[in-house]
Amino acid sequence: MNPADLGVVQAYLKDLRLPAIARMLPDTLRDAEQHGRSPLDVLRVLLEAELEQRQKNQSQRRIQAAKFPYAKGLETFDFTANPDLKKSQIFTLAQGDYIRQRRSVIFLGNSGRGKTHLAIALGREACYRGFKVRFYTAAGLVNELVTAQNDQQLMKFETRWLKWDLVIIDELGYIPLRKLEAELLFQFFSLRYERGSFIVTTNLNFDRWSDVFGDAQLTAALLDRLTHKAVIITTNGESYRFRESMKAQTTD
């Protein structure tokens, strides 16, 4: 292996934006010489490395674009702590068929039951599988909607909202909405209805949603759209935070 030739090839590879191949080339060529691997085999190994790197970078970019508030994964979720949840159901959801079918998932349960954790974890799984994901808190989304409306930018935003395969709305129902806010949120759900998926987390049973949305008719229409073909997962059981703090106290 002539170092000058190697340098030239590596420079070409960088120009062609094949950095993983450039990086792996010396070791792969040395290894091929030692073990008598065919040129075709060398090429396959290098191309696979480049493809793998590209997929990782794309997943990372999708995770950045999703704006998750923090990183949570399925691997750190303790299913034994929450007997209400079926591990197999969550892992099936992680495969993303519900997104392909434009169905939604609703996590319903009291505080500290892992709703946000699971929503983020499923969102990340979706990013790994090539879906475009956006995480919002309900309050954050409402702010964005109101700002867009004030700036007469709703139309422009609508195209943007349709490009996400999955929109996560965390903590719907924690704060009551003003009339305009409820209407804009309803419009948002209607726009994406059957065109994209949602994951919604909420602490409110459906019969209490009109308290938040203010208008019984609007709430009924919204629930109709949101729950149509949705997977509804109740996460009750005891609070994980509470359980962990009790454990800490008893082991002190």
From residue 165, how far is each of 100, 127, 145 by CA, in Å? Answer: 8, 10, 18
Footprint on residues 65-94 left by ligand ADP (CB under 6 A): 72, 76-78, 81-82
Check binding of 202 to Mg ion (CB under 5 A).
no
Query: Which of Mg ion, ligand ADP, none does 173 bind, CB closer than 5 to 8 A by kind?
Result: none
Query: Which of ligand ADP, Mg ion, none does 78 bind, CB closer than 5 to 8 A by kind?
Result: ligand ADP
Query: Residue 114: which of 64, 164, 63, 80 has the closest Cα?
Result: 80
Q: Which residue has the tokens 């879906």?
A: 131
Query: Which of ligand ADP, Mg ion, none does 58 bind, CB closer than 5 to 8 A by kind?
Result: none
Check binding of 139 to ligand ADP (CB under 6 A).
no
Question: Max CA-CA distance within the chain?
Answer: 77
- What phi, psi does 78 have (nearest 5°)? -95, 105
What lies within 8 Å, CB to CB, of 159 at 6+ separation is: none
Footprint on residues 194-223 left by ligand ADP (CB under 6 A): 201
Check binding of 124 to ligand ADP (CB under 6 A).
no
Check binding of 104 to Mg ion (CB under 5 A).
no
The Cα–Cα gap between 80 and 82 comes to 5
Interface with ligand ADP (CB under 6 A), residue total: 17
Q: Which residue's C-beta sits nearest to ligand ADP?
A: 114
Q: Which of 111, 153, 205, 236 binds ligand ADP (CB under 6 A)?
A: 111
Nearest distance in Å: CB 115, Mg ion: 5
Nearest distance in Å: CB 234, Mg ion: 14
Residue closer to Mg ion (CB basis): 82 or 116 = 116
Q: Which of 28, 116, 137, 235 binds Mg ion (CB under 5 A)?
A: 116
Nearest distance in Å: CB 168, ligand ADP: 12
CB 81 within 8 A of CB 205: no
Footprint on residues 152-181 left by Mg ion (CB under 5 A): none
Nearest distance in Å: CB 190, ligand ADP: 26
Q: Which residues lie near Mg ion (CB under 5 A)?
A: 115-116
Residues lying near ligand ADP in the complex (CB under 6 A) are found at: 72, 76-78, 81-82, 109, 111-117, 201, 240-241
